[in-house]
Protein backbone atom coordinates (compact mmCIF):
# COMPACT_ATOMS: atom_id res chain seq x y z
CA UNK A 1 0.00 0.00 0.00
CA UNK A 2 1.39 3.43 -0.95
CA UNK A 3 2.05 5.77 1.92
CA UNK A 4 -0.99 7.98 1.44
CA UNK A 5 -3.42 5.79 -0.54
CA UNK A 6 -5.11 4.73 2.69
CA UNK A 7 -6.56 8.27 2.81
CA UNK A 8 -8.91 7.41 -0.06
CA UNK A 9 -10.95 5.11 2.19
CA UNK A 10 -14.74 5.51 2.13
CA UNK A 11 -16.14 2.81 4.40
CA UNK A 12 -14.55 2.30 7.80
CA UNK A 13 -15.63 -0.76 9.79
CA UNK A 14 -15.04 -1.43 13.49
CA UNK A 15 -15.33 -4.69 15.34
CA UNK A 16 -18.15 -5.15 17.87
CA UNK A 17 -18.36 -8.80 18.88
CA UNK A 18 -21.43 -8.32 21.08
CA UNK A 19 -23.40 -7.46 17.94
CA UNK A 20 -22.95 -10.89 16.34
CA UNK A 21 -23.35 -13.59 18.99
CA UNK A 22 -22.65 -17.06 17.60
CA UNK A 23 -20.53 -15.79 14.70
CA UNK A 24 -16.74 -15.73 14.80
CA UNK A 25 -15.05 -12.28 14.78
CA UNK A 26 -12.72 -13.06 11.90
CA UNK A 27 -15.55 -14.51 9.77
CA UNK A 28 -17.76 -11.45 10.23
CA UNK A 29 -14.90 -9.04 9.53
CA UNK A 30 -13.92 -10.99 6.42
CA UNK A 31 -17.49 -10.54 5.17
CA UNK A 32 -17.11 -6.72 5.56
CA UNK A 33 -13.91 -6.80 3.51
CA UNK A 34 -15.57 -8.93 0.85
CA UNK A 35 -18.31 -6.27 0.79
CA UNK A 36 -15.71 -3.58 0.13
CA UNK A 37 -14.90 -2.01 3.51
CA UNK A 38 -11.55 -0.30 2.97
CA UNK A 39 -10.25 0.31 6.51
CA UNK A 40 -10.74 -1.86 9.59
CA UNK A 41 -10.39 -1.11 13.29
CA UNK A 42 -10.15 -3.59 16.14
CA UNK A 43 -12.01 -2.18 19.11
CA UNK A 44 -12.19 -4.22 22.31
CA UNK A 45 -12.69 -2.19 25.46
CA UNK A 46 -13.51 -5.11 27.80
CA UNK A 47 -11.15 -7.97 26.96
CA UNK A 48 -7.74 -8.66 28.52
CA UNK A 49 -4.56 -7.59 26.78
CA UNK A 50 -3.93 -11.23 25.88
CA UNK A 51 -7.33 -11.50 24.21
CA UNK A 52 -6.82 -8.24 22.27
CA UNK A 53 -3.38 -9.38 21.13
CA UNK A 54 -4.81 -12.65 19.83
CA UNK A 55 -7.56 -10.85 17.89
CA UNK A 56 -5.04 -8.33 16.57
CA UNK A 57 -2.81 -11.07 15.17
CA UNK A 58 -5.76 -12.73 13.42
CA UNK A 59 -7.12 -9.48 11.97
CA UNK A 60 -3.64 -8.38 10.85
CA UNK A 61 -3.40 -11.55 8.82
CA UNK A 62 -6.91 -11.04 7.40
CA UNK A 63 -6.40 -7.36 6.43
CA UNK A 64 -3.05 -8.18 4.76
CA UNK A 65 -4.89 -10.70 2.61
CA UNK A 66 -7.35 -7.98 1.49
CA UNK A 67 -4.74 -5.21 1.37
CA UNK A 68 -6.74 -3.01 3.76
CA UNK A 69 -5.23 -0.82 6.51
CA UNK A 70 -5.59 -2.17 10.02
CA UNK A 71 -6.03 0.14 12.99
CA UNK A 72 -6.14 -0.82 16.67
CA UNK A 73 -8.13 1.14 19.20
CA UNK A 74 -5.72 2.16 21.96
CA UNK A 75 -2.79 -0.29 22.64
CA UNK A 76 0.11 1.31 20.73
CA UNK A 77 2.28 -1.52 22.04
CA UNK A 78 0.11 -4.10 20.26
CA UNK A 79 0.20 -1.93 17.11
CA UNK A 80 3.99 -2.33 17.15
CA UNK A 81 3.90 -5.98 18.12
CA UNK A 82 1.62 -7.10 15.25
CA UNK A 83 2.77 -4.34 12.85
CA UNK A 84 -0.70 -2.84 12.50
CA UNK A 85 -0.97 0.29 10.33
CA UNK A 86 -1.99 2.61 13.13
CA UNK A 87 -3.76 3.42 16.33
CA UNK A 88 -7.07 5.09 17.10
CA UNK A 89 -7.29 7.25 20.20
CA UNK A 90 -10.12 8.72 22.25
CA UNK A 91 -10.05 12.19 23.74
CA UNK A 92 -9.21 10.66 27.15
CA UNK A 93 -6.49 8.34 25.85
CA UNK A 94 -2.80 9.17 25.57
CA UNK A 95 -1.97 12.40 23.73
CA UNK A 96 -1.26 12.35 19.98
CA UNK A 97 2.32 13.54 20.52
CA UNK A 98 2.97 10.65 22.91
CA UNK A 99 1.47 8.12 20.49
CA UNK A 100 3.61 9.58 17.69
CA UNK A 101 6.70 9.26 19.84
CA UNK A 102 5.91 5.60 20.53
CA UNK A 103 4.91 4.67 16.97
CA UNK A 104 7.20 6.79 14.80
CA UNK A 105 6.31 8.90 11.79
CA UNK A 106 4.96 6.15 9.51
CA UNK A 107 2.02 4.84 11.55
CA UNK A 108 -1.48 6.23 11.13
CA UNK A 109 -2.87 8.04 14.16
CA UNK A 110 -6.59 8.73 14.31
CA UNK A 111 -8.61 10.32 17.09
CA UNK A 112 -12.29 10.67 17.95
CA UNK A 113 -13.55 14.27 18.09
CA UNK A 114 -16.86 15.67 19.28
CA UNK A 115 -16.50 19.34 18.37
CA UNK A 116 -14.80 21.52 15.78
CA UNK A 117 -12.45 22.77 18.48
CA UNK A 118 -11.25 19.21 19.14
CA UNK A 119 -11.00 18.58 15.39
CA UNK A 120 -8.77 21.59 14.80
CA UNK A 121 -6.66 20.69 17.85
CA UNK A 122 -6.20 17.15 16.50
CA UNK A 123 -5.20 18.52 13.12
CA UNK A 124 -2.69 20.84 14.78
CA UNK A 125 -1.29 18.03 16.93
CA UNK A 126 -0.54 15.89 13.88
CA UNK A 127 -3.44 13.42 13.69
CA UNK A 128 -3.71 11.65 10.30
CA UNK A 129 -7.50 11.44 10.38
CA UNK A 130 -10.32 12.16 12.80
CA UNK A 131 -13.62 10.58 13.72
CA UNK A 132 -16.51 13.06 13.73
CA UNK A 133 -19.35 12.02 15.97
CA UNK A 134 -21.40 10.51 17.37
CA UNK A 135 -23.61 11.93 14.63
CA UNK A 136 -26.63 10.10 16.06
CA UNK A 137 -27.19 8.57 19.51
CA UNK A 138 -25.64 5.11 19.62
CA UNK A 139 -25.52 2.06 21.86
CA UNK A 140 -21.88 1.54 20.95
CA UNK A 141 -21.06 4.62 23.02
CA UNK A 142 -23.95 5.06 25.46
CA UNK A 143 -24.17 8.29 27.40
CA UNK A 144 -22.44 10.49 24.83
CA UNK A 145 -24.63 13.23 23.39
CA UNK A 146 -25.03 13.17 19.61
CA UNK A 147 -23.25 15.99 17.79
CA UNK A 148 -25.78 15.97 14.90
CA UNK A 149 -25.05 16.61 11.24
CA UNK A 150 -24.27 20.28 11.89
CA UNK A 151 -20.83 19.26 13.22
CA UNK A 152 -20.38 17.12 10.10
CA UNK A 153 -21.06 20.21 7.95
CA UNK A 154 -18.63 22.27 10.03
CA UNK A 155 -15.98 19.57 9.66
CA UNK A 156 -16.58 19.48 5.89
CA UNK A 157 -15.87 23.20 5.78
CA UNK A 158 -12.96 23.55 8.14
CA UNK A 159 -11.11 20.25 8.50
CA UNK A 160 -8.40 19.54 5.94
CA UNK A 161 -7.27 16.04 7.03
CA UNK A 162 -9.55 13.06 6.27
CA UNK A 163 -12.56 12.87 8.56
CA UNK A 164 -14.93 9.98 8.99
CA UNK A 165 -18.48 10.45 10.26
CA UNK A 166 -19.39 7.92 12.94
CA UNK A 167 -22.09 7.12 15.45
CA UNK A 168 -25.51 5.60 14.89
CA UNK A 169 -25.17 5.73 11.10
CA UNK A 170 -27.41 3.25 9.28
CA UNK A 171 -28.60 2.79 5.71
CA UNK A 172 -31.70 4.68 6.85
CA UNK A 173 -29.90 7.88 7.78
CA UNK A 174 -26.61 7.80 5.86
CA UNK A 175 -27.93 10.08 3.09
CA UNK A 176 -28.40 13.05 5.44
CA UNK A 177 -24.85 12.54 6.74
CA UNK A 178 -23.54 12.52 3.18
CA UNK A 179 -25.62 15.57 2.30
CA UNK A 180 -23.92 17.37 5.16
CA UNK A 181 -20.60 16.90 3.44
CA UNK A 182 -19.19 13.62 4.80
CA UNK A 183 -17.42 11.48 2.19
CA UNK A 184 -16.14 8.79 4.60
CA UNK A 185 -18.56 6.81 6.70
CA UNK A 186 -18.03 4.52 9.65
CA UNK A 187 -20.78 2.22 10.74
CA UNK A 188 -20.48 -0.36 13.50
CA UNK A 189 -23.62 -2.19 14.59
CA UNK A 190 -25.50 -1.61 11.32
CA UNK A 191 -22.77 -3.59 9.54
CA UNK A 192 -21.39 -6.23 11.88
CA UNK A 193 -24.84 -6.76 13.41
CA UNK A 194 -26.52 -7.34 10.06
CA UNK A 195 -27.36 -10.81 8.79
CA UNK A 196 -25.30 -10.18 5.64
CA UNK A 197 -22.41 -7.78 6.42
CA UNK A 198 -21.00 -8.02 2.88
CA UNK A 199 -24.29 -6.94 1.29
CA UNK A 200 -24.70 -4.16 3.85
CA UNK A 201 -21.20 -2.85 3.06
CA UNK A 202 -21.99 -2.86 -0.65
CA UNK A 203 -25.16 -0.85 0.01
CA UNK A 204 -23.25 1.70 2.09
CA UNK A 205 -20.62 2.08 -0.64
CA UNK A 206 -23.28 2.64 -3.29
CA UNK A 207 -24.74 5.46 -1.24
CA UNK A 208 -21.32 7.03 -0.59
CA UNK A 209 -20.42 6.89 -4.27
CA UNK A 210 -23.81 8.34 -5.22
CA UNK A 211 -23.19 11.27 -2.91
CA UNK A 212 -19.68 11.88 -4.20
CA UNK A 213 -21.09 12.17 -7.70
CA UNK A 214 -24.25 13.90 -6.63
CA UNK A 215 -25.54 16.53 -4.32
CA UNK A 216 -24.17 19.03 -1.86
CA UNK A 217 -26.11 20.76 0.87
CA UNK A 218 -25.56 24.51 0.87
CA UNK A 219 -27.25 27.39 2.61
CA UNK A 220 -28.51 29.97 0.14
CA UNK A 221 -29.75 33.30 1.49
CA UNK A 222 -30.55 31.59 4.79
CA UNK A 223 -32.21 28.46 3.36
CA UNK A 224 -30.75 24.97 3.07
CA UNK A 225 -30.66 23.68 -0.50
CA UNK A 226 -29.37 20.55 -2.23
CA UNK A 227 -27.46 21.06 -5.47
CA UNK A 228 -25.39 19.07 -7.92
CA UNK A 229 -23.44 22.19 -8.92
CA UNK A 230 -19.68 21.93 -8.47
CA UNK A 231 -18.79 25.62 -8.78
CA UNK A 232 -20.35 29.00 -8.06
CA UNK A 233 -20.78 29.53 -11.82
CA UNK A 234 -22.75 26.28 -12.21
CA UNK A 235 -24.79 27.07 -9.15
CA UNK A 236 -25.77 30.54 -10.39
CA UNK A 237 -26.75 28.94 -13.71
CA UNK A 238 -28.89 26.34 -11.95
CA UNK A 239 -30.70 29.12 -10.15
CA UNK A 240 -31.23 30.77 -13.56
CA UNK A 241 -29.60 33.98 -12.37
CA UNK A 242 -26.72 33.93 -14.84
CA UNK A 243 -28.09 36.68 -17.08
CA UNK A 244 -28.22 39.15 -14.22
CA UNK A 245 -25.56 41.16 -12.53
CA UNK A 246 -25.10 39.52 -9.14
CA UNK A 247 -22.96 39.92 -6.08
CA UNK A 248 -22.08 36.49 -4.66
CA UNK A 249 -20.82 36.04 -1.15
CA UNK A 250 -19.41 32.72 0.08
CA UNK A 251 -18.80 32.18 3.79
CA UNK A 252 -18.59 35.92 4.44
CA UNK A 253 -16.31 36.88 1.55
CA UNK A 254 -17.25 38.29 -1.82
CA UNK A 255 -16.45 35.92 -4.70
CA UNK A 256 -15.24 37.97 -7.68
CA UNK A 257 -17.27 37.39 -10.84
CA UNK A 258 -13.99 36.53 -12.53
CA UNK A 259 -13.52 33.57 -10.16
CA UNK A 260 -17.00 32.00 -10.20
CA UNK A 261 -15.97 29.28 -12.64
CA UNK A 262 -13.03 28.16 -10.55
CA UNK A 263 -14.55 28.61 -7.10
CA UNK A 264 -15.65 25.18 -5.88
CA UNK A 265 -18.88 24.83 -4.01
CA UNK A 266 -18.54 22.75 -0.83
CA UNK A 267 -21.15 21.19 1.36
CA UNK A 268 -21.94 23.45 4.28
CA UNK A 269 -21.09 26.61 2.33
CA UNK A 270 -23.16 29.66 3.21
CA UNK A 271 -23.93 31.46 -0.05
CA UNK A 272 -25.56 34.84 -0.32
CA UNK A 273 -26.77 36.06 -3.71
CA UNK A 274 -27.70 39.72 -4.02
CA UNK A 275 -28.65 41.59 -7.16
CA UNK A 276 -26.07 44.20 -8.02
CA UNK A 277 -27.43 47.68 -7.26
CA UNK A 278 -26.35 50.11 -9.93
CA UNK A 279 -28.56 53.20 -9.94
CA UNK A 280 -27.13 56.54 -9.02
Query: Using CB under 8 A as the criterion, which residues of the chain lie in contact with another protein when the complex forms?
Result: 242-247, 249, 252-259, 272, 274-280
> Between residues 51 and 264, which has the closer beta carbon with respect to another protein?
264
Is residue 49 annotated as a catalytic residue, yes or no?
no
Least separation, in Å, of the C-beta of 267 and another protein?
20
Give the bridge partners for 169, in sequence order. none
Looking at the DSSP assignment, which residues form a beta bridge with residue 248? 255, 273
Nearer to another protein, 145 or 277 (CB): 277
Q: Which C-beta is closer to another protein: that of 76 or that of 268?
A: 268
Q: Which residues contact 82 (CB under 8 A, 6 or more apart)?
A: 53, 56, 57, 60, 72
The one catalytic residue in 10, 112, 194, 267 is: 112
Q: Is 224 left (phi over 0), alpha (psi -120 to 50) or beta?
A: beta
Is 42 in contact with 15 (CB distance < 8 Å)? yes
Phi/psi of residue 253, each to 5°? -125, 140
Closer to another protein by Cβ: residue 170 or 219 = 219
Query: Are 201 and 32 within 8 A, CB to CB?
Result: yes
Is 141 catalytic? The answer is: yes
Q: Which is nearer to another protein, 97 or 274 (CB)?
A: 274
Catalytic: which of 7, 23, 141, 237?
141
Comparing CA positions, the residue from 93, 92, 87, 52 lying closest to residue 70 is 87
Q: Backbone phi, then psi, for 164, in 5-degree steps? A: -120, 125
Residue closer to another protein, measured from CB, 104 or 252: 252
CA distances from 107 to 71, 78, 101, 113, 162 (A): 9, 13, 10, 19, 15
CB of 278 to another protein, least distance (A): 5
**Closest approach of Cβ 280 to another protein, in Å?**
4
Question: Does the annotation mark 187 as catalytic?
Answer: no
Q: Work out the angle between the directed axes of helices 197-213 and 25-34 (0-180°, nearest 10).
A: 30
The alpha helices in 126-173, defined as continuous H runs, are 148-158
Give the shortest CB-261-to-another protein separation in angstroms: 11
- Cβ neighbours of residue 251 under 8 Å, at least 6 residues apart? 157, 269, 270
Q: Which residues, 6+ apart, have CB-to-CB distance to 221 below 8 Å?
A: 271, 272, 273
Nearest approach, Cβ of residue 159 and another protein (Å): 22
Task: Tell me the closest approach of the beta carbon of residue 249 to another protein, in angstroms.
Answer: 4
Residues acting as catalytic residues? 43, 112, 141
Amino acid sequence: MGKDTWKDFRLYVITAESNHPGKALVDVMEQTLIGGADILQLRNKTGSREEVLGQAKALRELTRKYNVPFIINDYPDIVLEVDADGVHLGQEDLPIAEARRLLGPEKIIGISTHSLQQALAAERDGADYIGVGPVFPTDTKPGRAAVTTSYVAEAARHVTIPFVAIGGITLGNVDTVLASGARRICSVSAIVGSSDPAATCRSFLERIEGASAGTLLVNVNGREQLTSARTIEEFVKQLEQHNKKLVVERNGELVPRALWAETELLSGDAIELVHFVGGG
